[in-house]
Amino acid sequence: MTNGTLPTLFTAEAAADPMKKYMPIGDVTVLALCIILFMLLIQTFVRKDKYFKYTIIMIVLVYISSTASLMFNTLAASDEAAAKSTAVYILRLVHYVSLCMVPIIYTVYIQEPLRLHASRKFFDSVTAAIFVIAVSVDLIMTRSHNGFYISADGTAHFGFNIFSYMYAMFYGSIIYSTIKHRDRLLSRVFSGLMSVNIVSLATMLVQGFFGQTSYTNAACIFPVIGIIYLFHSNPYDTEIGTVSETFFYPEHDKRIERKEQFVLISCIIRGFLNALRESNDLMTESYAFLRRNARNGVLYRFPDDRILLSLPADANIENLTRRMTDEFKELYERFRLDYKLVVCRSTRSVTSAKDYIKLIEYAEKNTAFTNIHYIDENDINDFYDSGYILGELAEIASRRDLDDPRVLVYCQPVYNIRTGKYDTAEALMRLQLDKTGIVYPDVFIPLAEQNNCIHALSLIILNKTCRAIREMLENGYDIQRISVNFSAIDLRYGSFCGDVKNIIAGNGIPFGKIAVEITESRSESDFNLMKQRVIELRQLGIKFYLDDFGTGYSNFERIMEIPFDIIKFDRSMLIESNRSESGEFMVKTFAGMFKKLNYSVLFEGVEDDRDEQHCIGMQASYLQGYKYSRPIPIENLRDFLTRTA
């Protein structure tokens, strides 16, 4: 074969003139690249897990290999080669051995994402064997002058090179296992790996085609760059393929601005990451699920285990989301994971990426596990209302006006069985807001509690209740007492006792006209606090009611430690006692016990005559419910009492 016709790999002709097939440019570039990579890796934030060290080892090996290659090739081509023949042999061996170590370490590395742990031992022994055989074959080839050798006249002869076959074999097997187990990789990771492997292979082939050996080390560094980028410095994690939430906002604000349609599917799966690590089946099924359904979507990872899939909304999107949610249910059935899905289509009424996330969080709170919720216009309206309500609440709290007109006191009269009169009542809060009209506690109490506005509201209710009592007393209507609800958060305020005392005293009414309703505390510290507060304020004459008995984790012993005046049985207890004889027995027993211990028992939610008779038979002292009156504005209480007197 002559120059100008097909050049071939490792030909005798190329071997005859080593400088022809070797130019230092390739190795010099690789050396520079290794230094740059190394510096960047130690200077920047990359995922330094236990596999990270393999990337460093590979870089060092390529560095050694390139240096050795540079020296070997220069020496082999020089005129004094004969004199330095031993050094040439050693440098050549160093070059090839370190070069072949790179794909071997790459193979060790790649077993992790491909989850090939089972075959690791087998692989290690086979590799060691191949390695020993390759080095021996090379030595034999050199001795028999079939491989690389330097002849007596000092000329370098290249001949057969076992290492290039070994190198090709390892790369071949890497590419083979990557393709074979592609379902164990996220599709992005798979295409990333394949493209660097292919470029690396192509570089080898092309240089072979031109009878070159200058770029062997270069081809070797490409896959290393690939795994550093794919597994260690990637914005998405290669385990579930999510991008950090911080990428979500700019990306979607851009989409909103461009009026692009999209669908967001938010998913909370309890213990998903652990389950994924433990079950290969779950992992491959999840990847397959994503491949089928979310090809052009992006997954984002949010705090609290939330994963959000964003899909462009094309014509097919309705079918796609239906199919996805169906498949999701099926997946759940198989792997028994608790999930919550919220699906949200882009709409003109939501104008920022941040609002989409808040809307989804809002809908998520109202969605139970193992449920899928499609956000609709109603959700969006409620969500914006709740944002508006929260704004008003914050404003009320910061203004600290104890007469704030937006906070209304309603009250529900309580029937006293012994006196046959309505001599007490419970104050219940309402909000009167411009945009929404009257707002009920189930909507705003949780918002107020979560956003630290509740205490300001409670004090307004207390103040307005005290004033109403004073006005009634001044006008000659004797009301024995009105109870006001406080939440556990109120009790945590250091100023709680002082605030309550000052407001009652400021209105000039006896302390005994006010009762405080509190619910059972969940935590030990709240319980101790509650006990202290009750003891302190009771000394002044303020009464205490335990609210909603029977709804929490009722703990009889603990309740006994606090000197309550009245135990309010929640409506659920009444319902339970209506349902069965054993239920009735239980509720009756509780009520009897409280009574024996000098607590009074109040039944809430008495709706009709049957409820009333039932409660009377169960040791009730007080009755409250729609049967007697719905909650009414506190200004109307006087009329009610006059009518029923």
Residues that bind Ca ion (CB under 5 A): 485, 517, 547-548, 604
CA 348 from chain centre, in angstroms, equals: 27
* CA 606 vs CA 410, 599, 603: distances in Å: 18, 20, 7
CB neighbours of residue 9 within 10 Å:
17
Q: Which is nearer to ligand C2E, 284 or 572 (CB)?
A: 572
User: Which partner in ligand C2E, Ca ion, none is near 625 (CB below 5 to 8 A by kind)?
Assistant: ligand C2E
Closest separation in Å from C-beta 611 to ligand C2E: 8
Closest separation in Å from C-beta 450 to Ca ion: 20
Contact 443, 389 (CB under 8 A): yes
Q: With CB under 6 A as the contact rule, which of the stretches 129-137, 391-399, 594-602, 605-613 interacts with ligand C2E?
A: 605-613
**548 belongs to the binding site for ligand C2E (CB under 6 A):** yes
Length of the chain: 645
Q: Can you read off the two tokens belonging to residue 623?
A: 């009755």
Structure-token match 């049957």, residue found = 610
CB neighbour list of residue 316: distance below 8 Å, 6 or more residues apart: none
CA 14 – CA 21 distance, rounded (Å):
6
**440 belongs to the binding site for ligand C2E (CB under 6 A):** yes
Q: With CB under 6 A as the contact rule, which of the stretches 245-253, 279-287, 305-313, 435-443 interacts with ligand C2E?
A: 435-443
CA 445 – CA 427 distance, rounded (Å):
14
Task: Classify residue 282 as exposed, middle or buried by CB count within 10 Å of its CB (0-12, 13-18, 19+).
Answer: middle
**547 belongs to the binding site for ligand C2E (CB under 6 A):** yes
**428 belongs to the binding site for ligand C2E (CB under 6 A):** yes
Closest separation in Å from C-beta 438 to Ca ion: 19
User: Which partner in ligand C2E, Ca ion, none is near 458 (CB below 5 to 8 A by kind)?
Assistant: ligand C2E
Looking at 182, 340, 467, 571, which residue binds ligand C2E (CB under 6 A)?
A: 571
Q: Can you read off the two tokens belonging to residue 238?
A: 């290669």
Q: Which is nearer to ligand C2E, 369 or 626 (CB)?
A: 626
Q: Which is nearer to Ca ion, 490 or 548 (CB)?
A: 548
* CA 104 vs CA 26, 63, 79, 107, 248: distances in Å: 22, 16, 35, 5, 38
Looking at 429, 447, 591, 637, which residue binds ligand C2E (CB under 6 A)?
A: 429
Q: With CB under 6 A as the contact rule, which of the stretches 279-287, 339-347, 575-583, 602-610 interacts with ligand C2E?
A: 602-610
Structure-token match 């006006």, residue found = 401
User: Which partner in ligand C2E, Ca ion, none is near 374 (CB below 5 to 8 A by kind)?
Assistant: none
Longest dimension (CA), the chain: 130
Count residues binding ligand C2E (CB under 6 A). 22
Q: Of residues 461-520, which lie at the interface with ligand C2E (CB under 6 A)?
A: 461, 485-487
Q: What's the number of CA atoms in the CB half-sphere (13 Å) around residue 144? A: 9
305 backbone φψ class: left, alpha, beta (φ>0; ψ -120 to 50): left
Closest separation in Å from C-beta 521 to ligand C2E: 14
Residues forming the site for ligand C2E (CB under 6 A)? 412, 428-429, 440-442, 445, 458, 461, 485-487, 547-548, 571, 604-607, 625-626, 631
